[in-house]
Structure formats: structure tokens, C-alpha cells
């Protein structure tokens, strides 16, 4: 089994836009705040609340979990904390549910794939 991924990216500010913002002198925190402002404005245009959903899978065990939360609860960060303690704070929609459609071939670690 691989190690725990302590956080999952919720959004990025990459490529030319990210480079331009950094070159303009903005800090990572400033850029994150701008992106979050845009996310919240987009949600407001649709009378919605910005939220996230993560679905980690364990291909070798053919199981998945699902966690839900609100972007506003992340503070000024671009990632969703996924440590054991952090997951206890998220809304758990599925807790390592078996699903035979999940194949060991879904692993992203070449040595884990079963022949």
C-alpha cells in the first residue's frame, strides 16, 4: 500500500495565468485569495454554495470512500486536508464501500497492478 496523501488539490492557479500573477508581485496567499474570490463569486451568480467532494479509491481492496465539505471551511488554501484527523472533520458520504467495478488496474503505482 502507498502512503497517505495528506491533502488533495481542490484547485490550482497554474500555467500562464499563475506565472503572470507571480511576476506581478503577488504572493501565493494573494493568488489563492483571488482564486477563492472568483470561486465564491461564481457560486453566488448561481445562488449556490461552493463545495467540494473527494472520492479516494483503494484499487487493491476494490473500495472507495467519499467526503464532502464547503470551500469556505478550507480557509485560504487550495487543497483539502485528507489526514485521518482531517477526514474526521469532513462529512463522510461513503466509508470504504466495496465495489467490484473498482479494478486493481486503477492503481497509479505500476508495481501494485496485479497480472
Q: What is the DSSP string of 22-42?
A: HHTT--HHHHHHHHHHHHHHH
Domain extents in the chain = 7-109
CA distance 9 to 78: 6
Low-confidence ranges of the chain (pLDDT < 50): 1, 115
Q: Could you tell me the pTM of the whole model? A: 0.83
CB 70 within 8 A of CB 49: yes
On the CB side of 18, CA atoms within 13 Å amount to 8
Mean pLDDT in the chain?
Answer: 91
pLDDT in tens, 70-90: 999 999 999 999 999 999 999
Amino acid at each position: 500500500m502507498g502512503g497517505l496523501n495528506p491533502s488533495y488539490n481542490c484547485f490550482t492557479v497554474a500555467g500562464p495565468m499563475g506565472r503572470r500573477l507571480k511576476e506581478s508581485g503577488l504572493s501565493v496567499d494573494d493568488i489563492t485569495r483571488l482564486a477563492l474570490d472568483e470561486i465564491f463569486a461564481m457560486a453566488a451568480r448561481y445562488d449556490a454554495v461552493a463545495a467540494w467532494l473527494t472520492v479516494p479509491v483503494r484499487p487493491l481492496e476494490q473500495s472507495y470512500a467519499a467526503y464532502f465539505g464547503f470551500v469556505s471551511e478550507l480557509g485560504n488554501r487550495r487543497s483539502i486536508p485528507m489526514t485521518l484527523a482531517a477526514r474526521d472533520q469532513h462529512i463522510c458520504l461513503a466509508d470504504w464501500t466495496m465495489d467490484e467495478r473498482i479494478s486493481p488496474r486503477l492503481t497509479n503505482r505500476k508495481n501494485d497492478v496485479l497480472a
